A and B are shown apart, each in its own frame.
Chain A
């Protein structure tokens, strides 16, 4: 859009700036205004984002878009706006208070290099709430919450942003004659840019600490902070990289695993199957293929899994329900079949085993010592059989054996599912495992 030339981007429509006499916020907002005049942008393409703190009262005094959000979160709104519309010029104005409460957003916007500009109105205390200390209050500084002087150290915002990877960082004071040029330069930086502007809070910090213009400069010296450019290391902006790496990538589309029934089934009622094994036995994925095989046989299926958060350890239990009708209740209070494939799985099923009725069938690996139970226990060489094909196919061996025992649907449905839903190299082994499992004498 071609912008008409504006001599100012500020308006007195909502009254004059509300800041205290002598407050540095006057100088900062005016410098930002001049910076925008320099850049000659369409006000509709500019968003000024603020949050809580006196400086947060400034956005509505501009003729640009204005976004006023929650304390310390303005960077996140600014990022959302910029990600959604990379063509927008997003200027976030935040106080030192906001930099404290929203510290993680400062670190992360710098690290990500999202192309917004952060202007920090840094007056070393919370002016809006009564002059409490902030993360930038100098050591020994007096505030309403450091009545004997600040025993904490100030955060060096510039060094912090620099350490987090900011591409452009500058420290200034509100009194700098070239502040508008500095802000304009920051806005022109394609990636994340920050200007930390030291200023006076004439209501609280200045009178309490006898801090005037000259003392501000000696304070900088005392803190060991220098003025001027801290970082100027351009690197590609986030949205640019996103477009290049992600949008440009070939469609990584998940194959739809759509299933049309093609096999018969002999299942009369809803049937619960629990497969209890250990990490590394592919319990979860094997159960999924079995569920898909049931669906290939015109059955409904559900599956839920249980395993520790540290996924490569301990038990792995899958609960499968197959049914000729819609499955509503998805818990298995009493399983019809319990498959035990490892010590971890057995340990997890101990309490259940004690309560199993006689009608339940337990298919257990022959090496496991099964506690006394009323259920019918079939001990079979699942592990030994799988080892001949692929140790990871133990679940397939056991489920094929269950098919033989139950006759709920044909082995072919399972081998078709394995062929359809597994990678060819894996399917070759699991199909062999399924055949071997089906041939086991139950």
Chain B
């Protein structure tokens, strides 16, 4: 097979089908709308159902209902849509619902620049729900990675019974790129662990806090329960403080324990370098060019590119920080992921943010100039 000239949004829809996605609900919003178009077009012929909901709240509601009835559900929106998804993201978290949420980021806040790119929703994603539970968020840098990470997002969501975010960007979503999707190596497809017939199904049963409770789908062999309220392992409302704490500990422990498995990143370390660029998303491609330029000019510089943003790949970041005196963190926001780096660097390293939200990409030269590498 050869290459195709593809946009990121189409790659996402293709990967979803490949991952076994058989339910989509979404509401139009630039720059994510073409995912809605592709899914509604392709799902019926692939054993699935696609529907345009009346708003973003219903998009999430449909997906949660369908996911709990056994479907692999996908929804796609942009930042303003995530604002409306928020309460249902909380529900999907407390209900341990596998599903994938694509956020094609655009410049914000509010309506912002609807057709322009940004990466301003990182910490919004991290703390998207009341109560502040851990989230899983992946961020592709290219059309090929949009394909790969969408597929992996479905696997993680099923494996860990959790909503997974794909944080992409108008700049990937709507930029065509020559790409060979068949070159991308994908892991085997993961489907949720399901419970066969049992005398008494316990919807959130775990022994160790880190266990992922297997699911009995609504309409499956057992009576299923699901609730937005604080509940016990049986999905019954509870007011018992130790039970409540145990459930909260479980939601956190489950994702914390998965951090290693979910950590996706790329290292490009140079022997003797004391400067490191940590980047993600579309900006990591500028960082890559910046690294090449700097090295050409005789500078020593290492790079760490994160594909997983949350849970923060702490081990990888700590390793990359070894022997480093200066870290450069370019971001298409006013400094969000840099907070995680600062937290992990504990004041031992000089940290320089390269930040811009004027809708244009951060250029390699801007990274070099502000990072003191030019």
Q: A63 touching B68 by the CB < 8 A rule?
A: no
Q: Is the interface of A mostly helix, strand, loop or mixed?
A: mixed
Smallest Cβ distance from A163 to chain B, in angstroms? 16
Cβ contact of B91, chosen from A70, A253, A328, cutoff 8 A: A70
Chain A positions 312-332 with a Cβ under 8 Å from a chain B Cβ: 327-331
Q: B61 touching A291 by the CB < 8 A rule?
A: no
B178 within 8 A of A: yes
A65-B218 contact, Cβ under 8 Å, with A81-B65, A84-B70: yes
Q: A83 touching B66 by the CB < 8 A rule?
A: yes
A68-B227 contact, Cβ under 8 Å, with A256-B4, A329-B286: yes
Q: In whole angstroms, how far apart are the Cα atoms of A301 and B63 in the complex?
A: 36
Query: A149 — which chain B residues lie within 8 A by C-beta?
Result: none
Q: B361 touching A291 by the CB < 8 A rule?
A: no
Query: B159 — which chain A residues lie within 8 A by C-beta?
Result: none
Chain B positions 155-187 with a Cβ under 8 Å from a chain A Cβ: 171, 174-178
Q: B61 touching A76 by the CB < 8 A rule?
A: yes
Q: In whole angstroms, how far apart are the Cα atoms of A242 and B44 in the complex?
A: 8
Q: A83 touching B51 by the CB < 8 A rule?
A: yes
Cβ contact of A66, chosen from B30, B226, B288, cutoff 8 A: B226
Q: A242 touching B58 by the CB < 8 A rule?
A: no
Q: A76 touching B57 by the CB < 8 A rule?
A: yes
A295 within 8 A of B: yes
B298 within 8 A of A: no
A374 within 8 A of B: no
B69 within 8 A of A: yes
B109 within 8 A of A: no
Query: B62 — which chain A residues lie within 8 A by C-beta?
Result: 76-77, 79-80, 83
Interface size on A, residues (CB 8 A): 68
A327-B66 contact, Cβ under 8 Å, with A69-B61, A104-B54, A242-B44: no
Q: B360 touching A76 by the CB < 8 A rule?
A: no
0 or 1 for each of B323-344: is its CB under 8 Å from A? (1 = yes): 0000000000000000000000
Query: B87 — which chain A residues lie within 8 A by C-beta?
Result: 70
Stretch in A43-51, A179-187, A357-365 touching the partner: A43-51
Smallest Cβ distance from A88 to chain B, in angstroms? 5
A305 within 8 A of B: yes
Query: A327 — which chain B residues lie within 8 A by C-beta?
Result: 177
Q: In whole angstroms, how far apart are the Cα atoms of A391 and B113 in the complex?
A: 33
Stretch in A30-38, A126-134, A213-221, A258-266 touching the partner: A258-266
Q: A79 touching B227 by the CB < 8 A rule?
A: no
Query: B229 — which chain A residues lie within 8 A by C-beta?
Result: 68
Query: B224 — which chain A residues lie within 8 A by C-beta?
Result: 65-66
B115 within 8 A of A: yes
Q: In whole angstroms, how far apart are the Cα atoms of A77 and B218 in the complex?
A: 12
Q: B4 touching A81 by the CB < 8 A rule?
A: no
0 or 1 for each of A51-62: is its CB under 8 Å from B? (1 = yes): 110000000100
Please, which residue of chain B has its CB at the minimum distance from the CB of A295?
A: B178
Cβ contact of B5, chosen from A66, A252, A259, cutoff 8 A: A259
A104-B55 contact, Cβ under 8 Å, with A69-B91, A242-B49: yes
Residue positions of A touching B, CB distance < 8 A: 14, 43-45, 47, 51-52, 60, 63-70, 73, 75-85, 87-88, 104-105, 107-108, 242, 246-247, 249, 251-254, 256-261, 288, 291-292, 294-295, 299-306, 309, 327-331, 333
User: Other than the known A252-B45, A291-B178, what 20 A-B pairs have Cβ atoms closer than 8 Å?
Assistant: A64-B223, A65-B224, A66-B224, A67-B226, A75-B61, A76-B53, A77-B64, A80-B25, A80-B67, A81-B69, A84-B69, A104-B54, A108-B58, A249-B44, A257-B4, A259-B4, A288-B5, A301-B5, A306-B115, A329-B289
Q: Which 3 A-B pairs have the closest CB atoms?
A: A80-B65, A76-B61, A84-B69
